């Protein structure tokens, strides 16, 4: 199990190549793509997202990616803000969708090769 530092409230307890419902074991293939300005209309504090993703999106040195289920690109399951620092990638923010945090538990994990 990987625990992040005190500033990020997240745990990685399993790496998968998809999104998995930990109660049912159902697995859903996912896509990762850059978020669009249109997506940001639904990603805000009003819709229970914790971070200000519009601010992240507006940073010129950062790319914000969304995780969606294959064939359902409008329902965002998670977001991550990254910067390419040439010799490493810096992760600024990561957040699961509010629905996932409250309604059910999913494992979002990716192996980076």
Query: Which residues have CB under 8 Å from 12's CB, separation 6+?
Result: 1, 2, 109
Is 9 within a domain? Answer: no
Is 21 within a domain? Answer: no
pTM of the model: 0.73
Share of the chain above pLDDT 70, in %: 72
- Measured between alpha carbons, how far is 79 from 101 in angstroms, rounded to an integer? 13
Could you report the per-residue pLDDT of 39-64, keeping only the tens digit for each? 999 999 999 999 999 999 999 999 99
Domain region containing 50: 29-105
Is 93 within a domain? Answer: yes
Q: In total, how many domains does the chain have?
A: 1
Is 53 within a domain? Answer: yes
Asked which of 8-12, 15-19, 62-66, 74-78 is least confident by mean pLDDT, the reply is 8-12
- Measured between alpha carbons, how far is 56 from 49 in angstroms, rounded to an integer? 13
Is 76 within a domain? Answer: yes
CATH code at position 80: 3.40.630.30
**DSSP H or E stretch at residue 18:** none
Is 16 within a domain? Answer: no
- Measured between alpha carbons, how far is 46 from 54 in angstroms, rounded to an integer? 13
């Amino acid at each position: 199990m990987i625990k992040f530092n005190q500033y990020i409230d997240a745990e990685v307890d399993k790496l998968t190549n998809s999104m998995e419902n930990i109660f049912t074991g159902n697995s859903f293939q996912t896509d990762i793509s850059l978020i669009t300005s249109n997506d940001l209309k639904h990603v805000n504090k009003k819709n229970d997202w914790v971070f200000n993703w519009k601010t992240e999106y507006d940073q010129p040195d950062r790319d914000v990616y969304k995780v969606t289920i294959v064939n359902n690109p409008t329902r965002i399951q998670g977001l991550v803000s990254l910067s390419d620092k040439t010799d490493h990638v810096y992760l600024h923010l990561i957040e699961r969708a509010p629905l996932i945090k409250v309604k059910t538990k999913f494992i979002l994990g990716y192996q980076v090769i």
